[in-house]
Structure 1
């Protein structure tokens, strides 16, 4: 199932990029493996998937340690709790959910000089939803400037989880706002190259708007929760 699902995702990317005349190689698939087993992850690895995203720190660390594969890239995409930020800084390659100077400072302090800089995406709350984390577009420039100066972090771009809108057009309009912010950031910082936007149900609109990374969970692994 997982093999066929990944094949289907790649086909969807191909069709979406053809519509907007983009190279499909510009779009990275991040397999969201939260609550999934290492057996599931191994099935994805077997067909060439090498980027995985985890929402829960302890669960993610256990998988990273168990699989012990330097060819894999691990993204933390959940909320960074202060008491567990050390684990994000130590074990993950990317953190996609930085939303404050305090969070950035902790990750920078806890990342060791023996590791490569931790790749950082700033999370944007594009709809200003009270139930979601992230900074507003108005706050972005200050946080981006701060992160860019920290020695053990590397600013790579933006991430957002926009609310699902009633129509494709309204969804695309929100995503285009994110793309414009990403392009402005890219023009300011040479290290910026990643817009993490789009999931299983909305990846086409995200790709057409300019997303370079889509976070796919259900469409790869299904909705089964591990026991």
Structure 2
């Protein structure tokens, strides 16, 4: 096995143990964006099927888009599709200016708009915690904000939502706080290489 396959195996085992501990299904998304196809194929050869990319046009069999944060984005995506697409709404739970995502207090309006669009199926909420909160001890307040949003939206609109939160450095804490989808990249593939 390659180093990437070893890394994936260790993360999958850890996620599975946490899924048993918290008695819920947890999806591990291998964040393969910017990685060479050879490295992605190493994971694929192990049978892993969930990958995260950031260029929609390059993925013909796309299952879910996790980064919708405005009515404009939702409308554009719905118009471009000829089939139903699963989506997650990205919420900026840390209120950081440099982060994408709708503000929690504006989420209800976006949910209502998305529920009216014919080609979108609202499946969940997603957030990226702040660096400081993701590297601190104890509960992550950004994750708690998303879980509160989930509870409110589920109750108000009679929905059952998944939660996508947690990355390489904080996925265990995210699972502890209720995540059903974790996005792990650098702990599988190694550090991200940024294009110049």
TM score, norm. by length of structure 1: 0.76
Report the CA distance shift for 1:162/1:189 in structure 2 as closer, same or farther (over 3 A).
same
Q: Distance in 2 between matches of 1:120 and 1:145?
A: 14
Residue in structure 1 matching 2:170, options 180, 184, 202: 202
Gaps of 5+ in 2: none
Partner of 1:183: 151
Deviates more, 1:28-37 or 1:215-224: 215-224
Gaps of 5+ in 1: 71-91
Partner of 2:103: 136
Q: Determine if the alignment matches structure 1 residue 168 to structure 2 residue 128.
A: no
Partner of 2:9: 7
Higher relative contact order by CA 8 Å / sep ≥ 6: 1 or 2?
Answer: 2
Q: Distance in 2 between matches of 1:190 and 1:51?
A: 27
Give the Å deviation of 1:145: 1.1
Q: Determine if the alignment matches structure 1 residue 218 to structure 2 residue 186.
A: yes
Q: Distance in 2 between matches of 1:126 and 1:192?
A: 20
Q: Distance in 2 between matches of 1:52 and 1:17?
A: 19
Residue in structure 2 matching 1:104, options 74, 79, 83: 74
Give the Å deviation of 1:170: 4.8
**Does the CA contact (< 8 Å) of 1:17 and 1:208 recur in 2?**
no
Q: Distance in 1 between matches of 2:76 and 2:178?
A: 31
Q: Secondary structure at the match of 1:220?
A: helix
Superposed CA deviations along residues 58-117 of structure 1, whole A, max 9, x for unmatched, are: 6xx0xx46xxxx6xxxxxxxxxxxxxxxxxxxxx321111111111111111111xx2x1
**Does the CA contact (< 8 Å) of 1:155 and 1:192 recur in 2?**
no
Q: Determine if the alignment matches structure 1 residue 23 to structure 2 residue 50.
A: no
**Does the CA contact (< 8 Å) of 2:125 and 2:164 recur in 1?**
yes
TM score, norm. by length of structure 2: 0.88
Superposed CA deviations along residues 110-169 of structure 1, whole A, max 9, x for unmatched, are: 111xx2x11111110001111111111110011011101111000111010110225222
**Does the CA contact (< 8 Å) of 2:16 and 2:26 recur in 1?**
no
Partner of 1:126: 93
Partner of 2:42: 43
Q: Distance in 2 between matches of 1:175 and 1:217?
A: 19
Q: Secondary structure at the match of 1:122?
A: strand
Q: How many residue pairs get matched?
A: 191
